[in-house]
Amino acid sequence: MKIEGKIFVYGDDINTDVIFPGKYTYEPMTPEQMGEHALEDLDPDFVKKVEEGDVIVAGKNFGCGSSREQAAISIKAAGCRAIIARSFARIFYRNCLNSGLFAITDDKIQADVNPGDKIEIDLENGKIAVGEKQYSFPPPSPEVFGILEAGGLIPYTRNKIASEK
Amino acid sequence: MGKTLAEKILAKNANLAEVSPGQIITARPDVVLSHDNSSAISGHFEKLGVEKVASPDKIAIILDHIVPAATETYAKGHQKIRRFVEKQGITHFYDVGCGICHQVLPEMGLVLPGTVVLGSDSHTTTHGAFGAFAAGIGRSEAAVIWATGEMWLRVPESFKIILEGKFDKWTSPKDLALAIIGNIGADGAIYKSVEFCGRGLRQMDIPGRMVLSNLAAEMGAKAGICVPDEKVMHWLKGRTAKEIELVLPDDDAEYERELTFDLEKIEPVIARPHTVDNVDLARNAGDIQVDQVLIGTCTNGRIEDLHAALEILKGRKISRGVRLLVFPASREIYIEASLDNTLAELAQSGATIMNPGCGPCLGAHQGVMAPGEVTVSTANRNFKGRMGCPDADIYLASPYTAAATALTGCITDPRDI
């Protein structure tokens, strides 16, 4: 799995209320509709500029706050394929993987990159390239890789249950 | 080497001799809780290709987030949940009006020491007050537990927070919890199990412990467990027929970090907008005029909190121009506060008494804010837009400070009343 796109850069403690406001959490929405609200109270330009394959680079504690899965789903549905942050809030981290959105913990990239830079991520080999600069990360475990490949925990579990029958 | 409380509970749950931090285990949660989001979870469940849930008696569904339904959309969500509950024979279903999931679950005797509670709500940590390992999960994960009864968990490293001394009058566990978050930061305990212990904890009542465990979520913690004692046994008496076993940490357990807080040194504090770790003394607030005061939520909607508010407000009128909203956290609390006249006296002071539920904490109904407005809230989050409007400010405080603020109309240290 390879991810290629441009970078959006954000700061520390980006919480789930600015990613996907609470007022929408109990509205039944398709992933595409959720995607229209991604980062609504943080950066209203995000949904206008994001394209398939783009990547968010952020600071510490990304996704803190509510357990709402739509925070991760909305970012993925908007087209973003990975988030690289200095650290993640744990429920959000699980929600990302479970929604098929890759989350990478890295404390160096944020200081090096600018909004709009081109980025390439090679998941199998744990490599990231931004221009001339190269970074590495521990590749996902086979189970996590399986979840990402299946497109999230639900399709992954469905396949598993079907194969056990 | 000894084991922490989290390690002992998770080993017991996974039927392993012992577990260590970093280890991935398959947990079989004793309870999986969800609320209005059960509508979406049931949608995920239906995609999994199984007809029946694995254990209908281990699923607890409590309607609390937008109750009674504010719009047709929400009403349809509740209707879908009721139909799912009926079809699946789910034992522990609590409909509109029972209260907030994190209050109702313990009241119904569904949270026992040494058990594992997973919930599709970030403040599931609250149940750590009873010596349970309780952590928040996502909706997909809840659906998978409904179907399989299992979920993988990473055994967390543990922090030990030792509490010494006693609170001064007009300070409370909320001030302590905010002070801890101000000290270690909103990401200070990401992924960790925070274990509260010490003489200060032992003298704290169960509702106070629930405040600490609730706000562990705002330190980033996976779980916030209070070392259980006879007070837990006493509180659960008459609420469960099950045998209770207190799981305790080993004396020589290994902790990644140890911190000590002296309760006597805690003063009334606030968390300024827009992060919970933006903590300052209430006395340093400056002249902040307030439009709304909210007393309630899974953090501070218990009878002790309503009594604290009444201590300040009894026989007095709130400031002109302030809207004071009071939400008892459960029907049990509502009834108790009705019978002892607390609700009537708060109403006489000018409070609007609301039904048990989450209220405007999540910004969907019952007191959302307008641009430029300021709310002082006893809830647990002050994020931008949290109460429905990104151009409004939320300050977090204790019930004492919230009530003092309602009285004067600007943020006030309760010791100054």
- B244 lies within 8 A of chain A by CB: no
Give yes or no for residue A67 having a pLDDT over 90: no
pLDDT value of position B330: 98
Beta strands at B116-119 and B133-136: parallel, antiparallel or unpaired: parallel
**B361 vs B387: CA distance, rounded Å:** 6
Q: Where are the domains of chain B?
A: 5-263, 270-416
pLDDT in tens, B267-325: 999 999 999 999 999 999 999 999 999 999 999 999 999 999 999 999 999 999 999 99
Closest chain A C-alpha to B188 CA, distance in angstroms: 9
Spatial CB neighbours of B339, under 8 Å, sequence gap ≥ 6: none
Q: Lowest-confidence range among A140-144, A152-156, A159-163?
A: A140-144
pLDDT value of position A141: 85
Give the pLDDT band (50/70/90) at residue B247.
very high
Closest chain B C-alpha to A80 CA, distance in angstroms: 20
pLDDT in tens, A94-138: 999 999 999 999 999 999 999 999 999 999 999 999 999 999 999
Domains B5-263 and B270-416 share a fold: yes
CATH architecture for segment(s) B5-263? 2-Layer Sandwich (3.30)
pLDDT value of position B319: 98
- Among the partner-chain residues B39, B138, B390, the one whose CB lies closest to the CB of A91 is B138
Tokens of B309: 């508010």
pLDDT value of position B171: 98
Distances (CA, A) of B222 to A64, A103, B150, B313: 12, 18, 18, 37
- B49 lies within 8 A of chain A by CB: yes
In one-letter notation, the amino acid at residue B150 is E
pLDDT value of position B127: 98
Tokens of B357: 């539920």
- Give chain A's end-to-end CA distance (angstroms, integer): 29
* pLDDT mean across residues, chain A: 94
Give yes or no for residue A142 having a pLDDT over 90: no
pLDDT in tens, B160-182: 999 999 999 999 999 999 999 99
Complex ipTM over 0.85: yes
Chain A's closest residue to B364, CA to CA, is A23
Give the pLDDT band (50/70/90) at residue B63.
very high
Give yes or no for residue B145 having a pLDDT over 90: yes
Look at A18 and B36 and tell me if their CB atoms are within 8 Å.
no
Order of all β-strands in the sheet with A118-122: A102-105, A82-85, A55-58, A2-9, A118-122, A127-130, A133-136
**B259 vs A125: CA distance, rounded Å:** 40
pLDDT in tens, A35-53: 999 999 999 999 999 999 9
What is the mean pLDDT of the segment spanning B126-145? Answer: 97
What is the mean pLDDT of the segment spanning A148-157? Answer: 94
Q: Determine the longest span between alpha carbons in chain B, in angstroms.
A: 62
pLDDT value of position B98: 98
pLDDT value of position B291: 98
- Among the partner-chain residues A27, A91, A154, the one whose CB lies closest to the CB of B122 is A91
Instruction: Name which of A98, A82, A6 is nearest B145 in CA terms.
Output: A98
Contacts of A22 in chain B (CB under 8 A): 362-364, 385-386, 388
Distances (CA, A) of B413 to B22, B170, B301, B397: 43, 9, 20, 10
* pLDDT mean across residues, chain B: 97
- In this structure, how many other beta carbons lie within 10 angstroms of the beta carbon of residue B54? 16
Q: Domains in chain A, ordered, with CATH?
A: 2-139 (3.20.19.10)
Q: Which residues of B314-323 are buried (b: 16+ CB within 10 A; e: fewer)?
A: eeeebbeebb
pLDDT in tens, B173-225: 999 999 999 999 999 999 999 999 999 999 999 999 999 999 999 999 999 99
- B278 lies within 8 A of chain A by CB: no
How much of chain B exceeds pLDDT 90, in percent? 99
Give yes or no for residue B31 having a pLDDT over 90: yes
pLDDT value of position A152: 94
Spatial CB neighbours of B400, under 8 Å, sequence gap ≥ 6: B170, B171, B172, B268, B308, B309, B311, B312, B414
User: Class assignment of domain B270-416?
Assistant: alpha beta
Look at B140 and A98 and tell me if their CB atoms are within 8 Å.
yes
How much of chain B exceeds pLDDT 70, in percent? 100
Q: How many CB pairs under 8 A join A and B?
A: 131
Give yes or no for residue B1 having a pLDDT over 90: no
Disruptive mutation site among A62, A67, A92, A147 for chain B (greatest number of B CBs within 10 Å): A67
A 114-143 → B contacts, CB under 8 A: 143
Give the pLDDT band (50/70/90) at residue B74.
very high
pTM value > 0.80: yes
pLDDT value of position B7: 98
What is the mean pLDDT of the segment spanning B220-244? Answer: 96
Look at B49 and A158 and tell me if their CB atoms are within 8 Å.
yes
What is the mean pLDDT of the segment spanning B247-258? Answer: 97
Give yes or no for residue A165 having a pLDDT over 90: no
What is the mean pLDDT of the segment spanning B123-134? Answer: 98
By the 8 A CB rule, do B201 and B262 touch? no
Beta strands at B323-326 and B351-353: parallel, antiparallel or unpaired: parallel
Give the pLDDT band (50/70/90) at residue A1.
confident
**A120 vs A132: CA distance, rounded Å:** 11
- Among the partner-chain residues A21, A98, A161, the one whose CB lies closest to the CB of B50 is A161
